Structure 1
Amino acid sequence: MRILFWLSIGLDRRTPSEHLLTAMIEALYKRGHTVHILQKDTGGEIDGLYPKLENLGVTTTKIPMTAVAHGNLVSRYLSDLSYVKKCDEWIKKNRNYDRVFLQSSNVAGFQMWVLKKRMKTVRTVFNVQDMFPENAVYSGKIKKNSLPYIFFSRTQKYAYDKAAEIITISEDIKTELESNGVNGSKIKVVYNWSYQDKTFERSLSMDSDIRKLLPQNKFNVVYAGNIGVMQNVEVVIEAARKSEDPDVLFHIFGDGAYKQKLIEKASDLNNVNFWPMQPVDKAPALYACADVNIIPLAQNIYRTALPSKTATCMAVHTPLILCIGTESLFAQRVKRETNCPIVDCSDDKSLRRAIEKIKSKEIVCHTEEFFLDNMEMSVNSMVYAKSIEADVTAN
């Protein structure tokens, strides 16, 4: 089969989802299919496709676009609409595909309209990595039931209704989709994976580059990722403020709209360090060198998203605290099966106590089996491949 991957991003810049897309495409090629990628080109530093994709023979079409600030919802939405329009012109002349994989997108309804206009009978699988506009509601960017919300919600609902199958990444997002009227029988939950099938070698915890930042004679609490409104990294700062243990250091790796605000908030603390985001290939070593990794999210964001780093944190033999909300179905399952603590997203006191209990060995986490049972790259990427190729009549 000839399969079109219609991305909402450009692979000209490094992205947290590149290993996910690569593994999906590798799985499709193992099953005898070919892939063409339709993507943005915003003038990033990467000229071609990733080497693994080029070696497979993957082809691509790049649509020139201007990069837009991630935090500007209106500008991003208008830019994405422009992208869809340009893609429509290309698809009109290039319709010879058997299947379409539609990446998570804020303008998926318009993309689905184009697909149903140009390729009416082609099966489309829609991958919901984060759920719009609900994520904008929970992060305070728009109000529930406002005119913008109603518009965004109805257009996204069209994509959900017309997709032959929806693959999402947590039970929480599936529940949120169902609460918005999406047919649960067409939703499949497939957890994101890390960079390899097996857990990482314990020797990664001695990585010389990362150890220059995380001293072995301290207990290192690590957050790594975007620093924005949806992450609520502020709870880590507040836990550091309440910490009375001089051996505990808090490290925040990454960049984002709220980084400067956090630096100012932590300016009077001597137990907090800020570092630039590390190269993607250093991510496993960074999480392995930590004594505990923190994954925080703002209130209710767990209903619409789950950070892609979760699988890697599970695979490095290091304790993990999910500071995303105790009502999260995913977090509850993790706690049940790994003994990793879960705390509410703004509960800095409980976060501090969980850190103390992990340091004292009162809490011992066992994440490896959960990772191997639920997050193996070869297994989960093959689920995507089989769903995309499935011989089922599109809606």
Structure 2
Amino acid sequence: MAGSGIDVDLFVPLPTRGVSDEVRNKYKNHKVEVRCNGRLRIHRIGIPKEGKSVIGRAARYILMNAVFILKSISSKADVIFVQSTPPTQGATAAIIKKVMHIPFVYNLQDVFPDSLVGTGIAKKGSAVYRMGRVIENFTYRNADKIIVISNDMKTNIMTKGVPESKIEIVNNWIDGNVVKPIPKDQNYMYEKFGLSRENFNVVYAGNLGYAQNIEVIIKAAEVLKDCSDIKFLIFGKGAQEEEYKNMAAELNLCNLSFFPIQPYSEVSYVYSLGDVSIVPCKKGFGSSAMPSKTWSIMAAGTPVLASFDSDTDMEKLINSQKVGMFNHAEDWEGLSSNIKYLYSNREYLQEYGRNARKYVEENISREKCVGKYIMCIKNSKNIN
């Protein structure tokens, strides 16, 4: 944005997830950072670290949003642009809009409170769900433009009364210069983790939580445990990490290993380890999300194995672009069958990998997607 001539004031909390106290303390001394010849000013807000308690996290979000309101209304902004995580951000931006009388562009990355139902945190019709719908409706009603990341998400919010004219679809992008295929003989991860280049590797990398349904991978590994050269490599951490590790240990799976999550700078090496990489989800969760790891896998030239909800953008992508194979969410027998098929028919691996990389280069490049954001933000100045 700053590079396109927009002056940006970015308000963010001090980093807390996946960073050491040393890194956090470093940023405490850089609460205002100026970049891009003065066009980008990053304002870091000192608030408590994020804990595991739901109540504590909610209190942190409320405090953060209160500070955002105070900081924003003292600025001279022409447009407000916020993302949907945490979900209270949208309501915060709506309040700022009403006070400052300026347009509000909302970047919807996760449909709330649907995601709470999908992850099992709340039930449809519960008090938490109803409160979430109030926040959601207030946000959608006041947003001048809503940028969503998939057709599924667009359909979802249109069924809730959002007019189509308010919605723009912009996929989450991937920088193909950063994430790219790494040849096996140049991938040092094999040596780092003591892996064989002769094995057929099935990779998952990311959060180990409820919504990701890592259980389907573990059960597929159990089905294929007698195939000695098919190995399942799981990189990640999350709320259910120990539960998943215990499940694998109880099944005595020698073909499945857990590894620490790797920094983003190593993502090309991680996904290039895989002959295939898995994108799983809990049943009912896929209609409101298109995992961004999909683009990272494809940028690395690796075929995608999606264990996902049917009739979604994910299924359409896999089948229409021939970038991998699809099975229904929670169907570990279907997943294991797809793995075995590609293991036995490896000529498809190169075809799917080439198609995946080509699709990313032509459709999900950073330049194209950022350009759409900039156009939407600039056009929003003429809405009111």
- TM-score under structure 2 length normalisation: 0.88
> Per-residue deviation at 1:330?
3.1
Partner deviation per Cα, 1:68-95 (whole Å, 9 max, x = no partner): 235x44432232112111222222322x
> Per-residue deviation at 1:56?
5.1
> In the alignment, is the contact (CA less than 8 A) between 2:180 and 2:300 conserved in 1?
yes
Residue among 273, 282, 294 paired with 1:298: 282
> In the alignment, is the contact (CA less than 8 A) between 2:315 and 2:326 conserved in 1?
yes
Residue among 156, 168, 175 paired with 2:148: 168
Matching residue of 2:3: 30
Matching residue of 2:79: 99
Matching residue of 1:223: 204
Gaps of 5+ in 1: 1-27
> Per-residue deviation at 1:199?
7.0
Matching residue of 1:242: 223
Residue among 94, 118, 133 paired with 2:99: 118
Distance 2:89 2:221 in 1: 40
Q: Which moved more, 1:270-279 or 1:184-193?
A: 184-193
State yes or no: 1:153 paired with 2:129: no
State yes or no: 1:380 paired with 2:369: yes
- Secondary structure of 2:228's match? coil
| Matched AA of 1:236 | I
Distance 2:283 2:158 in 1: 20
Residue among 348, 360, 368 paired with 2:344: 360
- Secondary structure of 2:62's match? helix
Where do 1:190-269 residues align within 5 Å?
Answer: 190-196=170-176, 200-203=180-183, 206-213=186-193, 214-243=195-224, 244-267=226-249, 268-269=252-253
- Secondary structure of 1:33's match? coil
> In the alignment, is the contact (CA less than 8 A) between 1:292 and 1:319 conserved in 2?
yes
> In the alignment, is the contact (CA less than 8 A) between 1:197 and 1:378 conserved in 2?
no
Distance 1:132 1:205 in 2: 44
Instruction: Pick closer, same or farther for the CA change 1:379–1:198 going to 2, 3 Å.
Output: farther
Matching residue of 2:165: 185
Give the total of aligned pairs.
364
> Per-residue deviation at 1:355?
0.7
Distance 2:185 2:295 in 1: 17
Matching residue of 1:389: 378
| Matched AA of 1:336 | S
Q: Which moved more, 1:245-254 or 1:166-175?
A: 166-175
> In the alignment, is the contact (CA less than 8 A) between 1:197 and 1:377 conserved in 2?
no
> Per-residue deviation at 1:147?
2.2
Partner deviation per Cα, 1:131-153 (whole Å, 9 max, x = no partner): 11110011111111222211111
Q: Name which structure has the greater RCO, CA cutoff 8 Å, separation 6+.
A: 1
Partner deviation per Cα, 1:303-347 (whole Å, 9 max, x = no partner): 222222211111112111111122213322332112521111210
Residue among 316, 323, 326 paired with 1:332: 316
> Per-residue deviation at 1:361?
2.0
> Per-residue deviation at 1:279?
1.4
Matching residue of 2:124: 144
State yes or no: 1:88 paired with 2:72: no
Partner deviation per Cα, 1:156-191 (whole Å, 9 max, x = no partner): 211112111111111121121112222222111211
| Matched AA of 1:325 | D
Instruction: Pick closer, same or farther for the CA change 1:392–1:89 going to 2, 3 Å.
Output: closer
Partner deviation per Cα, 1:349-369 (whole Å, 9 max, x = no partner): 000011111122264423122
Distance 2:200 2:228 in 1: 9
- Secondary structure of 2:326's match? coil
Distance 1:116 1:101 in 2: 10
> Per-residue deviation at 1:104?
1.6
> Per-residue deviation at 1:234?
0.9
Distance 2:260 2:72 in 1: 40
> In the alignment, is the contact (CA less than 8 A) between 2:189 and 2:273 conserved in 1?
no
- Secondary structure of 2:35's match? helix
> In the alignment, is the contact (CA less than 8 A) between 2:214 and 2:280 conserved in 1?
yes
Instruction: Pick closer, same or farther for the CA change 1:113–1:339 going to 2, 3 Å.
Output: closer
Instruction: Pick closer, same or farther for the CA change 1:85–1:294 going to 2, 3 Å.
Output: same
- TM-score under structure 1 length normalisation: 0.86
- Secondary structure of 2:44's match? strand
Gaps of 5+ in 2: none
> Per-residue deviation at 1:201?
4.3
State yes or no: 1:370 paired with 2:350: no
Matching residue of 1:25: none
| Matched AA of 2:306 | L
> Per-residue deviation at 1:114?
2.4
Distance 2:178 2:247 in 1: 39
> Per-residue deviation at 1:202?
4.2
| Matched AA of 2:46 | P
Distance 1:370 1:209 in 2: 26
Partner deviation per Cα, 1:281-301 (whole Å, 9 max, x = no partner): 000111012111001111121
